Structure 1
């Protein structure tokens, strides 16, 4: 199967997850992430949408712990899809944007440099056992992961694992993928 077909299959499986089971899986992932993130103070975190592994409770927990959290804003720079990160104090610092995302208000005083982030938590559509990630296919995360030197962690459900995935040259493997069943 090609990457596009694997992406669609993984999304379909994730979409079929019953809400109560999803809530339990999200809690399992959150508990694992709380252990992983402990030594880090400056964290990049996506705000989940639709049936992605939930990060909204994670966001609040990190902020309650006094962590600095930066969330991404999709931008196009010189014809390339990329992300800018902004420090937030809660979801009230974000507004609805394209792709059904909540994105931070782009205030220059809150802009986070990629080099400041110690841990980046990224969305995953599909993954393989080598921690290769299939995203949404627009390249936003690929453009920053290749320059990020901190810990790269993806959040996904076990059912999103794909077989026979051939990563492309620009695909950056993650350091860790957390699922409801444990870490990879």
Structure 2
């Protein structure tokens, strides 16, 4: 059986091999499914990460949320304490480069938000299975954060990111829904 490290390495290679055109088309299809869902429509405060590399594009989702009058909250990671805090952004100019090329909110120009006010969390990851298991990037930030809130969770997955089985440990949190270019998988 493949280890989490093996899957992370394999997934990174697969993502790197996706053409820019395919990535753009798949990201748009996934965004269309999400934005047309009742989960999106009924949520006023949405937590997202700012995509990087070949992650499903979240820039268009953030812009759509702003146009629809939704609050967009983005995490800032504290790597020493292994936790995240969320801040509302109203412009991409409020982002700054953090560790690992993460785009994070500038805490001096963005108000923090009580995590209990978040209604929908778009959870990043490298691999997912149809049971809702998720393989993140290895820091455990979301596995520590998600049990503290009541919001619905959705993962956005390119076709290669949906695999038959993701190995899990007792502390790993399941995702409520996964959206691929084909639509909702769970």
Q: Tell me the TM-score range normalised by the shorter chain.
A: over 0.9
Distance 2:123 2:165 in 1: 22
Structure 1: which 5+ residue stretches go unaligned?
none
Correspondence for 1:165: 166
**2:59 is aligned with 1:56:** yes
Secondary structure of the residue aligned to 1:59 is helix
Greater displacement, 102-111 / 20-29:
102-111
**2:27 is aligned with 1:43:** no
Shift of 1:108: 8.5
Q: With structure 2 as the length reference, what TM-score do the two structures score?
A: 0.93
Shift of 1:109: 6.7
Q: Work out whether residues 10 and 161 of structure 1, in 8 Å CA contact, stay in contact via their aligned partners in 2.
A: no
Instruction: Give deviations 1:64-88, integer Å, cap 9, x for gaps.
Output: 1110110000114xx5411110001
Q: Work out whether residues 46 and 120 of structure 2, in 8 Å CA contact, stay in contact via their aligned partners in 1.
A: yes
Correspondence for 1:33: 34
Distance 1:59 1:16 in 2: 26
Say how many residue pairs are matched: 182
Shift of 1:158: 1.6
Q: Work out whether residues 15 and 51 of structure 1, in 8 Å CA contact, stay in contact via their aligned partners in 2.
A: yes
Instruction: Give deviations 1:117-146, integer Å, cap 9, x for gaps.
Output: 000011120011201110100111111112
Structure number having the greater strand percentage: 1
Instruction: Give deviations 1:4-53, integer Å, cap 9, x for gaps.
Output: 11121122111111110111001001101102311110111110001100
Tell me how large the CA RMSD over aligned residues is.
1.4
Shift of 1:162: 2.4
Correspondence for 1:17: 18
Structure 2: which 5+ residue stretches go unaligned?
none
Q: Work out whether residues 69 and 87 of structure 1, in 8 Å CA contact, stay in contact via their aligned partners in 2.
A: yes
For residues 62-101 of structure 1, what are the structure 2 equivalents within 5 Å?
Answer: 62-76=65-79, 80-101=81-102
Instruction: Give deviations 1:93-120, integer Å, cap 9, x for gaps.
Output: 1111111011001149700111010000
Secondary structure of the residue aligned to 1:111 is coil
Distance 1:173 1:80 in 2: 23
